[in-house]
Amino acid sequence: MADEKQTAESRYRDQIGEENRFEDTDYTEETAAEIAAPAPISRDWDYEEQRDEETASGQGYGLSALALSIISLFVLPILFGAAGIILGFIARRRGAESLGSWAIGIGAVSIIFGIFIRPFF
């Protein structure tokens, strides 16, 4: 038991000795990177042009999604409604939020109507 205590103390002294051996060194390092101002990031493209292109492609997806969702009210509601919902999410991601939202809503209503209400008629 005493040997274990002595070995633990000797290990601790060795660790302290290893830490203290750096006290005599001279720390004259350059720290300019810590003080320097951050470099500005410049971008070459224009956000307005990029947004216009995304909105134009999103409107095409939105119109097709809305058409599929409306068709799903009359023919194959699960198939066309699901396709309308998926294209509606793509349209919303590409910038046509209102068309995409309408397509998602109408597609969801069509699926719910087709599964729960239409079988009783």
pLDDT value at 20 more than 90: no
Helical ranges in the chain per DSSP H? 2-20, 32-35, 47-72, 77-93, 97-112
Could you tell me if residue 94 is inside a domain?
yes
Could you tell me if residue 84 is inside a domain?
yes
Could you tell me if residue 47 is inside a domain?
no
Could you tell me if residue 64 is inside a domain?
yes
Could you tell me if residue 17 is inside a domain?
no
* pLDDT number for residue 108: 96
Supply the range of the domain harboring residue 87: 55-121
pLDDT value at 113 more than 90: yes
Q: CB 98: neighbour CB atoms within 10 A? A: 12
If one counts the domains in the chain, the total is: 1
Could you tell me if residue 50 is inside a domain?
no
Q: What phi and psi, each to the nearest 5 degrees, are found at residue 38?
A: -65, 145
| Average pLDDT over every residue of 49-53 | 62
| pTM passes above 0.95 | no
Q: Classify 26 as helix, strand or coil.
A: coil
* pLDDT number for residue 120: 82
Identify which has the larger pLDDT, 102 or 38.
102
Cβ atoms 56, 86 nearer than 8 A: no
What CA–CA distance (Å, rounded) separates 109 from 82?
11
Percent of the chain residues past pLDDT 70, beyond the cut: 55
Could you tell me if residue 35 is inside a domain?
no
